[in-house]
Amino acid sequence: MRFTQTAEEIGVRLLSCVFLAAASMWAQANGQLQIHFIDVGQGDGAILISPLGQTVAFDIGRDMVGGSCDKPVAYYRQLGIRKLDYLIVSHYHEDHIGCVPSILASVSVDHVEDRGQSYDSTFYDAYARTTRGLRSAARVGDKIVLDETSPAPVTIEVYAVNANGMATTNENSLSLAVRIAYGGFRAEIGGDLSGDDADDYIDVETRVAGAVGKLDLYKAHHHCSSHSSNDAWLGQTRPTIAIISAGDGNTYGHPAYDCLERLHYAGAETYWTELGNGATPVPGWDTVSGTIVVSVDLATMQYTVTHGAKTDAYAIDGPPGIAPR
């Protein structure tokens, strides 16, 4: 739940926001976990910066409305990112991999984790050429540990990939989904993972929700489409906040009214990169703001959400057995 800070705390937070808005600050380790959810338009892209400065990109998508990579390219430059330790690709649709070649033209990457296999598209072909020799096929249970020498490492664990063996050819349902753990903080990023069996989709959400468990932050699957964020998933993960990445003028109806309604019913406040072309944001529940930056401070057991010129603070819930420091 969002909570009120003292005047002194607010002053410190606001001062921090001024500095953190500067590109050079975001490119440096600052002792906190940072997750930047980039406004790429109708697509997906996020960057994680660990407290000690390791970097992980989650998808680098191309705007399906404007057909451009301008926004992610500009944001990487703003951050001063020149090297990625990992690139984690959820699946092979254009709005998730279409800007990988543009970014990797000036940014090096050590490791690429994806769902393996292949996909029939020119965007996949360009992605495969760009990442040749760097790719590893993820498996359920795989873990990436950042800041290994730190008393508080960051762990990224795979919970779903290729529908966990269930038969489907739906590229969205095949998405690679991970949970990020840092102290008591938990976040999940799962591309376009699906939560129903309509059409050719398959419900993966319900099958993995129990293993994922309670979340502070949920990156809404599939741009908060009707096929995502089902009641079973939300009942098990109970996210405090949800991030919705959808583009203005999209032709998919994202974010969908029923998806947003389920998130509200589950008690999740939401932050949107753009207004999209579907549900109407509800005051007090939904904030539309462009790029969203989440910073996690274990010293205070809080995380902040910076959106535009504003910052909201939340207490880390933590899973059972994780006590506040």
- What is the Cα–Cα distance from 182 to 154, expressed in whole angstroms? 5
Q: With contact defined as beta carbons under 8 Å apart, do 270 and 220 qualify?
A: yes
Neighbours of 52 (CB within 10 A): 16
Q: Are 14 and 5 in contact (CB under 8 A)?
A: no
Q: Find residue 313's DSSP bridge partners.
A: 304
Distance CA 316, CA 237 (A): 14
β-bridge mates for residue 180, sequence order: 156, 187
pLDDT at residue number 129: 98
Q: What is the pLDDT of residue 317?
A: 86
Give the whole-angstrom CA distance, residue 154 versus residue 235: 25
Inter-residue contact 149 to 133 (CB < 8 Å): no
Burial class (CB in 10 A: 0-12, 13-18, 19+), 122: exposed
With beta carbons less than 8 A apart as the criterion, state whether 13 and 310 touch. Answer: no
Residue 309: per-residue pLDDT: 94
Q: What is the pLDDT along the chain (325 residues), one digit of tens a residue?
A: 565 444 444 444 433 443 333 333 445 679 999 999 999 999 999 999 999 999 999 999 999 999 999 999 999 999 999 999 999 999 999 999 999 999 999 999 999 999 999 999 999 999 999 999 999 999 999 999 999 999 999 999 999 999 999 999 999 999 999 999 999 999 999 999 999 999 899 999 999 999 999 999 999 999 999 999 999 999 999 999 999 999 999 999 999 999 999 999 999 999 999 999 999 999 999 999 999 999 999 999 999 999 999 999 999 985 544 433 3
Residues making up the chain, counted from first to last: 325
> Is 265 buried (19+), middle (13-18) or exposed (0-12) by CB count in 10 A?
exposed
Q: Which two tokens stand for residue 258?
A: 């029923």
Cα gap 162→99, rounded to integer Å: 22
Encoded tokens for 84: 């990625």
- Give the CATH number of domain 7-314: 3.60.15.10
Which residues lie across from 237 on neighbouring strands? none
* Encoded amino acid at 108, one letter: S
> Any residues with CB less than 8 A from the CB of 39 and at least 6 apart, and which?
71, 245, 273, 274, 290, 291
What per-residue confidence (pLDDT) applies to 1? 56
The confidence score (pLDDT) of residue 24 equals 38
Q: Please name the helix (run of DSSP H) or strand (run of DSSP E) that holds residue 84, with its range, or none.
A: strand 83-88
Instruction: Give the per-residue pLDDT at 22.
Output: 35
Distance between CA atoms of 301 and 295, rounded to whole angstroms? 11
Q: Name the residue ranges covered by the structural domains of the chain.
A: 7-314
**What per-residue confidence (pLDDT) applies to 29?**
77
| Cα–Cα distance measured from residue 211 to residue 166, given in angstroms and rounded to the nearest whole number | 17
Closest alpha carbon to 83 in 134, 127, 142: 134
Q: Which region, left, alpha or beta, applies to residue 124 given φ > 0 means left and ψ of -120 to 50 means alpha? A: alpha
Q: How many C-beta neighbours within 10 Å does residue 152 have?
A: 17
